[in-house]
Each structure stands twice: as C-alpha cells, then as structure tokens.
Structure 1
C-alpha cells in the first residue's frame, strides 16, 4: 500500500509539473481575414518563436460585434485589435480596457506625437498600440499608364471628363461588404470634406460639431457626385452596391482596362498585383491648407495576464513593428522602422508620409460614435441608389448627429 501511495503521489506530482510547464496561450481577436490574416499570423509566429508563448488568432470582418458579445459574456480575448478608435474609446469608457502605462515600455521617441494622441484616445493615458496604419488620401492607377497628377478640383474633374469623353471609365468603385457596407464611399466623402473645406472643418465634423445637411459637408457630397456621376463609375452607381469592395477581380489591370482610377487606402498594396500600381495624392479641392487622411488598427489589452502583456509590448517594439511591413502590405508608424523594410518605392513613399511632419487627420467615420458611423454607411448606400435623394439622406444624418451631440456619448475629438 505504501508503494502504491508513493507511486500515486509521484504521478500526481509529475502531472502537476506538466500542467505548470505547459505553454501559456494568448487569444487575439482582430479584423483581418484572408491574405492579411496570413501576414499577421507571421507576426504572431515571430512572437511565439522568440517568447515561447502560444497565440491563438481569431479573425473576423465584424470585430466589434464579436468583441461586444464576448465582453458581455465575461469571456473577452486577451487582446483585441479594432479599426475604429471610436469603438475602442467606448470600451475604455466602460472600464473593459487595461491602461498600458505599466505594460508597454515607454517609446515616445519612436512614435510621432500625433500617433501617440491616437493611442491615448484623447485621454492622456495610453490604451492602445498602433499595429499598422494606412494612408487614405490616395488615388491609384496602373503603373504602366502615365497619369499627370491633378492638383486642383478643376484638374481632377477634367481628368474624369476626359476619360468619359474618350469612351473609357475613369473610376473603380465597390461598396458592398459582409459588414459595414458603404465604408469605401465614406472614405470618399471624408477626403472631399478634408480637401475642400480643410482640416479644421473636418475635425469639427468628425467630433459631431458640424452640420451634415448644409454648408461644407453638404457641398462635399455634391462634389463627390460631380466626380462619380455621368457614367464616370464602372457599371454605373447602382452596380457599386452589388460588388464587394474586396472582390479579387481587379478591373484596373484587365485587358481592356475596366477603369483607370481607384480611390483606396494603402492597404491595397497587399491586394493589387505586385509592382503594377502607382498613386498620386488626393488633390486639393480648395482647402486652405494641405492635409491627408489616415487610419489605424489599434490593439488593446482586455484580459490582463503576463503573457498578454508580453504580446502588447512586442507589438509596440521596433522588432514587432518591422515584422508585418517586412512581410508586405502593411505600414508602421514607428520611426525606427526604416525604409529598407519596404519592398518597393511605392511602399516607401506611403511609409514616409505616415511619419512625416505633414498634417494628418484620422478617418472621420472611425472616430464617430457607432450610431453616427452606421448611419453614415447607410447614407452612402442610399445616395448611390438614388443621388436625387441627397437632401433627405443628409437630413437623416443630421438628425442622428444632433442626438449623438446631445447625449455626448462616445464622442472622440482628436487633433488633426
């Protein structure tokens, strides 16, 4: 009996050791699927190999909806990556996010102040890490088709009209999506507001302080209509409602060419055929000063463990920030990630703009509270279905803005 008890105790002891030495696991929820997920998995693999910590990544096109359900059940992931600072600010306000002051090493010399402001969500305390960033004020075209970059509204309209007059289609546009359908159109409107009315109006508009149904915002919708109306969009405006924004077909590179120009963010360098696209900056449409629109994917700590802290610190480090750009299709705002990491001159131009001293304004709809952002998405769909209904569309948006402004819930005012 004593021998049997000794064997059982030894087995229990060995079992306990086995449990204690099993690798800890970090669960990460993020917005990337498909090729982007594969590249982010490469970043996580580097962390796993060097830190000996397992990571399980869950990719979804609806990260906020999935995260909200998990939080309400009391089972959030350790780390969640959200593309909307407005959504993340709401989780911070509800007390679900761990501040990073004692988690991530201070690297203020590595990041421009504007990106630190974003990570602090205008609170003065850091809550997020910019995993990757994108430049949005861009117009793409086939690299083998010479295009003189327009610098004014008149020149952009003239380029569009010249293509139509020649029997060609100037603009690619696709706004369908599994979730948040319409967002490529919101990017269009945002760029027009920024480049027509200027960054100060843009900032007030993003913070729900600027009316939608009159003045510069209404004018921006009308300008967008001038650019994409009259046969300027491949298939017509209603066809854009039926084509998914991430459709693998690339009409800009077809033979014969389906369209010449594509208003898309820099993430498409990971989608377009390698080396076949070039871009010019979105031109001034009369704004008093130059600026560019940007966006970011923000990682935050929802379940605080030593392993999750280690991952957050890795994502903020120069090592972690270099990993995805080296794999392709992503851009870092860490100053120590040098241009040699990027695989093409086009990518290096994008990366330089993101850490430049120029005026950068964060994606307006991403800053807006969820009800206003959702209404914006739906407004794009309504407008493309019936451009003559614009005033009613904007009146609806103005009603949502007034309600959000009165409640003062989820409003995020960031420097521009």
Structure 2
C-alpha cells in the first residue's frame, strides 16, 4: 500500500495542507452532512468516538487492543462496531443521518461514492500531513476523490497466497509450482495421489458473500492479461465482459468449478457458497484441505486457537506460496488490499482518533499484535512476527513487484461490492460466464 507499490491510477492526488470547512449545522453523536448541504461541521466532542467497519471476531479484539493504551492516555473512548453488512449499511446510515464518526472502508470505490455525494469530511490537516509523510502517492490516491483527500490508509494485505502443508508436499513428492499450468498439474497430482479434492473455498460473508471469488479472478486478470489491461478493466476503459475477463473467469473455473478439485472438507462445488471464508481455516489446520487461496491476513485465522492453533512457517504445519504467473520468470505480479479510515464527523475527538490511526505509532502497535501488516513507511518490519507477514512486507517493498490494488475495491460500489460479488455467487451456482459478465457490465453506472 505504499510508495513502493507499482500501480497507476487515474484519480489525481492532492494532499490538503489545510482544511477549511463551512458551518452547516451539527448532528447529535456521529453523522455526516447531507447530499444537499455538503459536508460541514458535524458532531460534538464528548469523549466518545464511534467507529464502524468490517473487522470482526479475533481481528476485532486485536483492533480494540491496539488503541487501548492511547484511549487511556487521551481520555477518548473509541467505540468500534463491526458488521458483515457494512457495504450495504454504511450508505443507508449516511443517508439516514445515522453515520458513525469514523468508518473503516475496505473499498476505496465505496468511499469515493460517498465522498462524491458530500457525506464524507475532507481529511483534517494532521491526517493529510501523515499521509504525505508516511504513504506514497499511489496509496494517497486510494483515499482521494476529485482532488480532495478524504482519509488515510490503515492496514494492508498481499492477496493471492496459496496455503499448503509442507510435510504433505514432501510426502507426495511435489514442489511449489512456478507457473499456472504447473499449479494445475500439482492439483491433478494431489487429487490422483489422495483420491480427494485438493482445494477448499468458502465464499459466504453475509452481504459481502462472493468477495473471495473476486480475488481469484483479479489475480488471473493481472497474471494473464497484464497490468495495463487490469487498469483498463478497473477504470471501465474495457467492458466487464471483455474476452480478457472471460478468460480469467474460465481459468479460475478450471479449479473452482471442477467437482474433482473442490470442496475439501465440505462437499462439492455447491458448498463453496454455503461456507464462510473464516471457517475454511479449520479444515486447512486439521489437514483435511491441501490447498487454499487467500490473502496474507489469513495467517491470523490459522493461528487462532479456535482453529487448532496452527503453526505457520516454511517448516511448520502450514506455509504459503504466491499464485504463480502464467510464464516462468515473468516477474512477480500481485494484488493487494487494505482499508481507508474516513470521517463523517469533524469534532476534536474524532480528528484526534483519525490522526492517531494514520500515525506510525498506531501502525506499530497493531502490527506487533500479529495477523496484519501496514503500508505505513514508519512501520518497523521486525514488529511483524509471523513469517508470512514478513514475506508480504518484503513483496510490498520489492521494487520489482508489479502491484495492483484489489479491482473490486476500486470499482464503483454498485459493481465492486455489488454485482461483482453477487455475480461470483451466481457463477458458482452454475450461471454461465457469459451471462454473469453481461449482468455485471449492465450494472456499471453511466458516466
């Protein structure tokens, strides 16, 4: 997520040196301006800052722990509310005048939608200063709409890891693949050797169901069609039903739609949509599943004691390799994700919390607790105790890495967290690729 990432985006970057806000009335508690009035003074400092996001379960506990000492020092109570319905509910809450003080947006496209409709407060000066000092222009662009910075990046992840069991690979006499074709050969070999499906997947995530499948497609678009086509796809310079996107879907289907290859520990292809992405950690941990595609953050789910306290490392229970390129020695291309913290309120307490979350102090506090990384360049890499997270930091900081932010997160919300998600679910349920892509294309907002 930093300056070290190689991504080109058409959104211009303007980091605000100062922020002048017109007084347009206050709301009680949190809540932004309206689409008619535009963002203005909203919220009153009362020692409580409400926050809303998608970070749940163990990760939510660690999030609260990460700022606990700062809360005591500052006297500000951060009240975080998690929801699997965030993508659907945040717009409803903003429109209804019931927005939180702060929201953690996993999709820059969704943030941009609300910012363009004047619900989001421009970033205050301290946040803008931190973004200018600790993030690259690429990362600032993810939080920028119409030349205005609206927030700061929070955490980061490298997507496209394939989780596996090193001991099983040694027993089966197989090696980590170096190309996509070798990955398919590996899959066939494991299936023939064991007689069971090698891959496991879970796409259920309530209102966001389907997103793990979009990650698969994005990885294949980047590896097969290349970064220029990927950028054209994100910016709708080519249609969603372009042949390059159809090819990526069909390539993913060679694994996910093959009943011989999925769904280890659960059943057939149809079970992918009925199992949560979190629960899959259990069948990886107990050895039922041989291969699973998921981002670097999955380390936190695997090592969670409720999933068997699986050890992660090159010589441990589970390790990971990046989804390989189409051609060997063609360079490393990866997709990644992260969150943007943006405000609906602009009282002193909210600004103080927003500034803290954009600082190296918070980044180091959270990364030291495990499970995540940050693209804040004030991060001490040694705080990432997990080998896979250290590996992910190395990938992000490698100047030879071709990096692209998660495509669905950059697309307009109605597509990225809407029709793309539901299209993947329909596709797993048997809808033809051509029909799925046509439906998603028809949902793209007109200019």
Q: Indicate if the aligned counterparts of 1:112 and 1:355 stay in contact, CA closer than 8 A.
A: no
The number of aligned residues is 379
**Secondary structure at the counterpart of residue 376 of structure 1:** helix
Instruction: Report whether the alignment pairs 1:160 with 2:190.
Output: no
Tell me the distance in 2 between the aligned counterparts of 1:175 and 1:261: 15
Distance, in Å, in 2 between the alignment partners of 1:75 and 1:391 is: 40
Alpha-carbon distance change, 220 to 277 in structure 1, aligned in 2, over 3 angstroms: same
Find out whether 1:182 has 2:210 as its counterpart. yes
Q: Does 1:95 align with 2:118?
A: yes
Is residue 2:429 matched to residue 1:385?
A: yes
Residues 23 and 52, structure 1, Cα contact 8 Å, conserved in 2: no
C-alpha RMSD of the superposition? 2.1
Match status 1:322 vs 2:351: no
Aligned-pair CA distance for 1:230? 4.6
Q: Which runs of 5+ in 2 are unaligned?
A: 1-44, 303-309
Task: Kindly indicate whether the alpha-carbon contact (under 8 Å) linking 1:168 and 1:259 is maintained by their aligned counterparts in 2.
Answer: no
Larger Rg over CA atoms = 1
SS at match of 2:168: coil
Query: Which residue pairs with 1:269 in the alignment?
Result: 299
Range moving further from structure 2, 275-284 or 78-87 = 275-284
Matched, 1:48 2:75: no
CA distance in 2, matches of 1:390, 1:96: 36
Taking structure 1 as reference, are residues 266 and 399 closer, same or farther at Cα in structure 2, changes over 3 Å only?
same
How far, CA to CA, are the matches of 1:390 and 1:252 in structure 2? 29
Q: 1:351 aligns with which of 393, 409, 415?
A: 393
For residue 242 of structure 1, what is the aligned residue in structure 2?
Answer: 274
CA distance in 2, matches of 1:282, 1:58: 34
Task: Provide the C-alpha distance between the structure 2 equivalents of 1:23 and 1:99, rounded to a whole number of angstroms.
Answer: 21
1:216 aligns with 2:244: yes
Answer yes or no: is 1:145 the counterpart of 2:187: no
Distance 1:73 1:400 in 2: 24
1:117 to 130, 141, 144: 141
Mapped to 2, the partners of 1:380 and 1:125 lie a distance apart of 33
Shift of 1:143: 4.4
CA contact (8 A) 1:47 1:311 kept: no
Cα deviation, residue 264, structure 1 = 0.4
Deviates more, 1:104-113 or 1:317-326: 104-113
Listed one character per residue, the Cα deviations across residues 228-285 of structure 1 (whole Å, up to 9, x for unaligned) are 325111222111122122226621222xx32211100111111002433211111112
> What does 1:243-392 align with in structure 2 at a 5 Å threshold?
243-247=275-279, 250-254=282-286, 257-272=287-302, 273-275=310-312, 276-286=317-327, 290-357=332-399, 358-373=401-416, 374-386=418-430, 389-392=432-435
Equivalent position of 1:202 in the other structure = 230
Structure 1 residue 232 corresponds to structure 2 residue 255: no
Is the partner of 1:397 in helix, strand or coil?
Answer: helix
SS at match of 1:96: coil
TM-score (structure 2 length as normaliser)? 0.80
Note the residue ranges of structure 1 that are not aligned, 5 or more in a row.
Answer: 1-21, 409-416
Give the TM-score normalised by structure 1: 0.86
Does the CA-based 8 Å contact 2:159-2:294 persist in structure 1? yes
Q: Secondary structure at the match of 2:104?
A: strand
- 1:286: Cα distance to partner? 4.5
> Which residue of 151, 157, 160 corresponds with 1:134?
157
